[in-house]
Structure formats: structure tokens, C-alpha cells
Structure 1
Amino acid sequence: MTKKLITIIILGVCLVLLKPVIPEAMDGEKYSRVIWSYLETLCGFGPRNPGSEGYLETLELIRRVGKKYADRVVEQPFEVQVSEGKKIHMVNLELQFAGTQGGSPIVIGSHFDTRPFADQETHPEKQIKPILGANDGGSSTAVLLALAHYLFQHPAPRPIHLVFFDGEDYGARGSGLNLLGSIHYAQSLLQVDRQSWPYWVLVVDMIGDKDLQIFKETYSLKGSSRFLDKIYSIAEKQKNSSFKSQSKYTIFDDHYPFYKMGIPATVLIDFDYPYWHTLEDTLDKCSPESMFSVFSVVTETIQSFQVEN
């Protein structure tokens, strides 16, 4: 072998080694397809209110994804008294991913259930029907399932727990039968050492709107301003115009039970959605670009939190 040939081979090896690694998370087309495929599947199950066939199929989907990608799958069954003499069985599903540096986990949550009745419809015969919940319940669940793909390939510094909350949308307004899964999860933390409590809780909800606008929510500002600033700084860096710097809503969502416990908790939600709690919350109202825009900000955000020494 000539010296010239050896030199060429060495240079070729060096070029391969020096080639910059492009993070897979930047492959917007790939992850947009993954997210949208999950949303199509969820909507194909039909309404996913507790006890329905679509609900059971959704649980099985989350379990399959967890078994394939997560380091550990934890099921948290619980019962809720919904009326005199009637209890309903519910379950939170948690997909746990080990971090590269350890530390307390970041919880990323979404409710996977859909509303059992369309109370924002004007006609009484429509109000008693369960909604499809493409955006409300579907979009955020699809994003969390895609995050499982991402974290399998790209572990974050801190452990990440993807929590699919049950029963967020179960009861009528004022019934006390909402946020059921997140309340149960938060209360269960009282039985463990505070050192193992979440470092941060990030909830995503209704993030599929074609005209996505995510304003800063009041409880998120009060309880997790540092984390909210990080999210919006990354969104600005990504030139993501869906994230609006103004505060607009005060919302009782799945972040609220954690906020009440003093755990930093944030919700990303677009509440300006005209099809909310109606039968018109369907797949055609959603956008893969909107969901990926949130996915992209979330992945970069969780990668940015190093474990303090």
C-alpha cells in the first residue's frame, strides 16, 4: 500500500470522525409524521372517555409504546366516588426514562381521557354525547407518545417521567370531578421522600390548534417563572411565533395540584379554541406543525437542565 493511499484513508477517517452530529430532534419532518400518526390513531379509537372502548384502546397503546421505548412503565390505579353508590376505576400511566446525570425527575404530563359529554354544544341532544377530543386530550397525548421515541434515542440530563393523567375532563363544571389523575398523583407524593419529588412538572394540553397561540398562564407564572422564562427563551431562539410573551389565562389544569404543593409547575395550553368541549373538536381542526412546534421547544428545554453539583 502506497503512502499516498494510506494518507487518503487516514484523511477519510478523520473527516468521518469530525462530521458534526445533527440531533435527531431537529428532524421536524420525521417527528411531525410520528406525532400526526399517533393523533390519527387516537382519533380512530373514537371518544376516549373513561370506560369506553376508545379509552381502553388508548391505555393499550400507551402501554405498548412504554414497553418498547421506556426504561420503566408504572401504572397507578385508583378509584373515584362519582356519585352515591358509584365508583369508577381510573389509572395513570407513567413512562420513566433514566437521565444521563441523575437527579430528581422532570414530569411531563398530559391527560389522555376525553370529555364524556359535549357541554359547550347549544343543542341538548348533542350535549349528552362524548366528544372526540382531537385537540383536547388527543394532541398532547400524541406529543407525549412521540417524546417516548425521542427520549429512547436522546436521554436528557435529568430523568424524564411522561405521565398520562386520567380523569382530567371527567366531571361537569363545579362537580369536583376534574383533574382526578393529577390530584391522585400529587397526593401520592406525600407518601415519599421530598428528595424524590419532581424537579419540575410541565403539562401540555390543547396544543394542536392550527392557529396556535400559547400565552403565559397565571399559576405557571407564580409558581415556575424561571422555567417559563426558559421555555419562552428557547421558543424565541427557535423563532417560534406560537409562544406569546403576554399573560392571558388562569386555568385549573393538571399542573394545578402540583402548584398547590409548592412544586414548580407549568402548563402550555391554547385556550382560544372555538371547538372546546364540542363535537367539532375533530382531526381536521388540528395541525402537525403546531404540535411539532411545541415538541421542539419541549425537547430543547429538557435537554438544557443540567443537574447541579
Structure 2
Amino acid sequence: MQMILKHTTAGLALVASLLFFSCNSKKSDNTSTISTNKATKITTPVFNGDSAYNYVARQVAFGPRVPNTPEHEACANYLAGELKRFGADVIVQEADVVAFDNTMLKAKNIIGQFNPEKNNRILLFAHWDTRPFADYDKDASKHNTPIDGANDGGSGVGVLLEIARQIGKAGHHLGIDIIFFDAEDYGQPNHLDLPYKEDTWCLGSQYWGKNPHKPNYTARYGILLDMVGAKNALFYKELYSLEFAPELVNRVWNTASDLGYGQYFAYDQGGMITDDHVYVYQLTNIPCIDIIQHDPSSPTSFGSFWHTHEDNMDNIDKNTLKAVGQTVLEVIYSEK
């Protein structure tokens, strides 16, 4: 993903100012929540933070999941197998995509469909590949080595695997699609002196947007999870999300507050992030939002360990995973 205000040849441009306000800090219990409408009562499954944590750890155990590597292939098989185990109808969309340096990447978008026969659908997605460069590592000798990607890549997938497990047990009255997009993090690196190129990030979602797994695919909305596992993470309202789907942003943030997770979901505005949700929206017109960590104290805005070798399991917190996962479950199970 890429933070932008405007494109420059220097790499990532940062949003310069942010507002700070206090956040709701109520503690959440571990009981399931109930969503009610006039026609029916729907019980929201309880998201298991320990389970999500284990899914993140399992991905990291494969090693960096960089396209064209054995570790990438092994993890792809694992992710597809888990979605099948939870009862999803699985499609592995294979795509040849060209990276910024003209490397041909053998990408795999992994798609799990629940209730594939239903036309009324919700889309949940994350990227599962990891960065082939540690371009923000303090040690310059490590800039060209791939990272673990526990938070950046692993956390969003871990949360969605646990959501898939809960949907598999409880069922859902709508169609739910969970997509793990590939080749998101192979964007032009910051440490190389290269002229800026457009659209080098999010190659898997760009491909899927032009070639959806079903002709004329559409959904009520899409929710992207990216970097959702760090300790004490804060999720600000991302600006593209506010442009694409402001009502959904407010609904998600209000739901988090109602559930007692307001300390994670700040009501302030964050930056503009070129992430998978941008291409999904632009290419399919599905309203999409991005739940993504924002750290205004960090020069990159994504945290001190972003795109470094410190993006490992030491930074992953079960409570953060729980806050995001339970919020998303409540949102989709409150749909009529």
C-alpha cells in the first residue's frame, strides 16, 4: 500500500497534518453480540482472537510470501485449503502480472465464496503476499531482503480466516466473498533511485478488478483489512474510504465504539492510502473502505516496523485482532 497526497519522484508523500482527539476506551467482554431488525434476530458469532493470532503465525512460519518463491506457493495451498475446510467454494485465480522492474510475477488471488448462488453479496478482502524489500529498515544492507510481513499481510488474512471459520459454523443469510489478493506489496521500492511509475502496487486486485471471478460481479460493499494486528494500533478514517463509502465508514466506526473497541477506531481522519480498495472501487464501482493502521508519530505513518525486518510476530496482539474481527463480524451479521 502507498500513502499519497500527491505523486513525487521521492517516493511516498505523507499527509502533513492530523487532528488528535480522545477515543472511546470502554472494555469489551467476550460474549456474542445480538443484532435485531423487525423481521428476525441474528446472533453474531464470537470472534476468537487466539485463533486469528495462530492463523497469522502459521503464515509467518512459511517465511516471506513473495511471488515466484516456494514459500509463496506453499502458503497459497494452505490458505485455499483452510477456506475449503471452513465450507467455502474456493477459486484460485492465477495471473501473470508485471512488476515495476518488469519481473513477471506468478500471482494467485485466492477467493472463498460462501453461498455462491446468492446475488446479494458482501466482499471482504486483504492481501496475503509480503514485501520483497525491507526498504525502510535501519540497516541498509537488508534493504533488498524480504520481510516476514506479520502485520503487513499476515494480520488481515488471519482475521479473515477466523471470520471465514465463524461463517462456516454459523452460516450467513447473504453471500459472502473473502478474497486474498496477491502481489499487493511488490510496489516500487523507496530505497532505489528510480523514476516514479504509476500503479506498481496492488497488482493482484488490479487484475481481479479487470477479470472478476464471476462476470459482472458486484457486492453491496467491500471492506479491506490491512495491517490490523499491531499492539495498540489506531485505525483512522482513511480519506479514500470516506470518498468511496462514507456511510459504511461511519457504520463500522460506530459499531466498534458500541462494542467497546473505540480505543482502536479513532474518529479522526487519516491519510489517502493507495491500497487494494482503490482499485476494487475504480474497476468495479463497489463501495469500499480500508481499515488500516495509521501512526501519526511515525515518519511513514504506518509504524516504525513497516517494511522492515521488525514486522514480525513480536508486534502482533490478539486484542487488536479481536477488536477488528468482532467489529467486522457485527457489521456483516447486522445486514438485513
Normalising by structure 2, we get a TM-score of 0.78
- Output the CA distance in 1 between the equivalents of 2:323 and 2:275: 21
Structure 1 residue aligned with 2:129:
113
Larger radius of gyration: 1
Deviation, 1:54, is 2.3
Structure 1 residue aligned with 2:115:
98
Identify the match of residue 208 of structure 1 among 225, 229, 233. Answer: 229
The aligned runs of 1:10-49 (5 Å cut-off) are 23=43, 25-26=45-46, 31-49=48-66
Deviation, 1:253, is 0.7
The answer to which of 270-279 and 293-302 deviates more is: 270-279
State the secondary structure of the residue aligned to 1:207. coil
Structure 1 residue aligned with 2:207:
184
Deviations 1:88-144 (A, max 9, x none): 2111010001189x4432110010000001000133311011010110001111111
Identify the match of residue 255 of structure 2 among 220, 225, 234. Answer: 234
- Output the CA distance in 2 between the equivalents of 1:235 and 1:58: 31
- Output the CA distance in 1 between the equivalents of 2:89 and 2:165: 14
- Output the CA distance in 1 between the equivalents of 2:145 and 2:101: 23
Structure 2 residue aligned with 1:289:
319
Identify the match of residue 218 of structure 1 among 232, 239, 245. Answer: 239
Structure 2 residue aligned with 1:245:
267
- Output the CA distance in 2 between the equivalents of 1:86 and 1:168: 14
The answer to whether the 8 Å contact 1:118/1:131 transfers is yes
The answer to whether the 8 Å contact 1:189/1:197 transfers is no
Deviation, 1:23, is 4.8
Q: Which amino acid aligns with 2:331?
A: T
Question: In structure 2, do the counterparts of structure 1 residues 251 and 153 end up closer, same or farther at CA, with 3 Å as the change threshold?
Answer: same
Unpaired runs of 5+ in structure 2?
1-40, 190-195, 296-302
Question: In structure 2, do the counterparts of structure 1 residues 172 and 84 end up closer, same or farther at CA, with 3 Å as the change threshold?
Answer: closer
Q: Which amino acid aligns with 1:295?
A: G
Unpaired runs of 5+ in structure 1?
1-20
Structure 2 residue aligned with 1:15:
none
Normalising by structure 1, we get a TM-score of 0.85
Question: In structure 2, do the counterparts of structure 1 residues 112 and 83 end up closer, same or farther at CA, with 3 Å as the change threshold?
Answer: closer
Deviation, 1:213, is 0.5
Percentage identity across aligned positions? 28
Higher relative contact order (CA 8 A, sep 6+): 2
Deviation, 1:44, is 1.1
Aligned residues: 280
Deviations 1:190-246 (A, max 9, x none): 9833xx412211100001110110000011001111111211121111011201111
The answer to which of 69-78 and 204-213 deviates more is: 69-78
The answer to whether the 8 Å contact 1:45/1:53 transfers is no
Q: Which amino acid aligns with 2:223?
A: L
Structure 1 residue aligned with 2:98:
81
Deviation, 1:85, is 7.0
Deviation, 1:70, is 2.9
Deviation beyond 6 Å, 4+ runs, structure 1: none
Question: In structure 2, do the counterparts of structure 1 residues 229 and 264 end up closer, same or farther at CA, with 3 Å as the change threshold?
Answer: same
Question: In structure 2, do the counterparts of structure 1 residues 126 and 290 end up closer, same or farther at CA, with 3 Å as the change threshold?
Answer: same
The answer to whether the 8 Å contact 2:44/2:329 transfers is no
- Output the CA distance in 1 between the equivalents of 2:42 and 2:254: 21
Identify the match of residue 275 of structure 1 among 302, 305, 308. Answer: 305
Q: Which amino acid aligns with 2:314?
A: D
The answer to whether the 8 Å contact 1:217/1:250 transfers is yes
Deviation, 1:155, is 2.3
